[in-house]
Amino acid sequence: MLASFLKTLFRITALLPLPVVHFLGGLAGKFIFYIPNRIRHVAQKNIELCLPELNKDAQKKLLKNSLIESGKTLSEMGVMWLSNSKYTLSLITSVEGEEHLKTALNKQKGVLLAMPHIGSWELVNLYVARHYPVTSLYKPPHQKGLDNLIRESRQRTGAKLVPTNTKGVRAVSKALKNGEVIVILPDQQPYLHLKNGIFANFFHSPAYSMTLMPKLAEKSGSEIVYAYTKRHPNGKGFTLVFMPASANDNKHDLQHSVELMNLDIEKVVRDCPEQYQWTYKRFKNRPEGFPELY
């Protein structure tokens, strides 16, 4: 039922101009801010934990703006998933730092493209897949009825999706050997019971963090490049940014490599903090002795 409703909503918003879509999403975000709810609670706890240097007024302002941007992220999904890809890609008004991706690819060892949850990560995927050979790890959504829609939309500009399991990791390793771009969401919390993560500082607090990307970088010799979009006000499009990793020598121990990864994610977040997905339970898993956050 919910999946059918969401599909209908996405189809409607895909027909609307982006300024209208963002206006509606912004209204939804304001509603979430003013009415106490679980989403607001999670975002507030994350901001308080990660940015204690901000005073209470600044934290409240960031909370409000981040919920407005989260509303825009949700409202624009129809455009990202169902609109004509030529139109969707035209929403990128400028691209910064793409030379970092091209330089890394020229080394013919593949590239690990890290896409933190900021701005429109769906748009990053569409752009990169249009211009480069891309293999992307994919975890089906909780709403199973949206699985085909998301798969088809993400693959419509050429991306190849592989599952987040052993088979998928083998496919990713093969793609790196072929010099392809591998898309990974580095701030996504891995499953604790699978033991494929470690606790590493993220904004000075321990967060259960993925080890897959640093391990792939060490094994393949591939460089890591970060990519994200910054949403412009009033529905005036996006800037796409590519940023090299702070260290690409692949010679650090795993703990240090994961710490460096989280520091790079922090750098991205600080560039546009209101557009980060603070509503995600990034600190759901806590080390022994740490109190539950949410």
User: Does residue 293 form part of some domain?
Assistant: no
Q: pLDDT: is 3 or 250 the higher one?
A: 3
Distance CA 178, CA 270 (A): 34
69 assigned to some structural domain: yes
Name which of 35-39, 163-167, 258-262 the model is least confident about: 163-167
Band of pLDDT at residue 141, cut at 50, 70 and 90: confident
Domains in the chain: how many in total?
A: 1
Q: What is the pLDDT of residues 149-161, one digit of tens each?
A: 999 999 999 999 9
pLDDT at 140: 84
* Structural domain range at position 50: 2-275
Q: For the residues 8-23, what does the mean pLDDT come to?
A: 95
Q: What is the pLDDT of residues 57-104, one digit of tens each?
A: 999 999 999 999 999 999 999 999 999 999 999 999 999 999 999 999
Residue 288 counted as domain residue: no
Q: Is residue 286 one of the residues assigned to a domain? A: no
pLDDT at 247: 76
Query: Domain for residue 13, yes or no?
Result: yes
- 209-221: average pLDDT: 93
Decide if 201 is inside a domain. Answer: yes
pLDDT at 251 over 70: no
| Confidence (pLDDT) at 159 | 93
**92 occurs within a structural domain:** yes
pLDDT score for 112: 97
30 inside domain: yes
Phi, psi of 249 (to 5 degrees): -90, -10
198 neighbors 262 (Cβ within 8 angstroms): no
2 pLDDT tier (thresholds 50, 70, 90): confident
**DSSP states along the chain:** -HHHHHHHHHHHHTTS-HHHHHHHHHHHHHHHHHS--HHHHHHHHHHHHH-TTS-HHHHHHHHHHHHHHHHHHHHTHHHHHHS-HHHHHHTEEEEE-HHHHHHHHTTTS-EEEE--SBS-HHHHHHHHHHHS-EEEEE---SSGGGHHHHHHHHHTTT-EEEESSHHHHHHHHHHHHTT-EEEE-TTSPPPGGGT-EEEEEETTEEEEEE-HHHHHHHHH--EEEEEEEEEPGGG--EEEEEEE-S-----S-HHHHHHHHHHHHHHHHHHSGGGB-TTS-TTSS--TTPPP--
If pLDDT is split at 50, 70 and 90, which confidence band does 210 have? very high
For the chain, how far is it from start to end, CA to CA, in angstroms? 28
- In this prediction the pTM is 0.94
- pLDDT for res 74: 94
For residue 27, is pLDDT > 80?
yes
Cα gap 127→88, rounded to integer Å: 9
Residue 63 and residue 44 in contact, taking contact as beta carbons nearer than 8 Å: yes
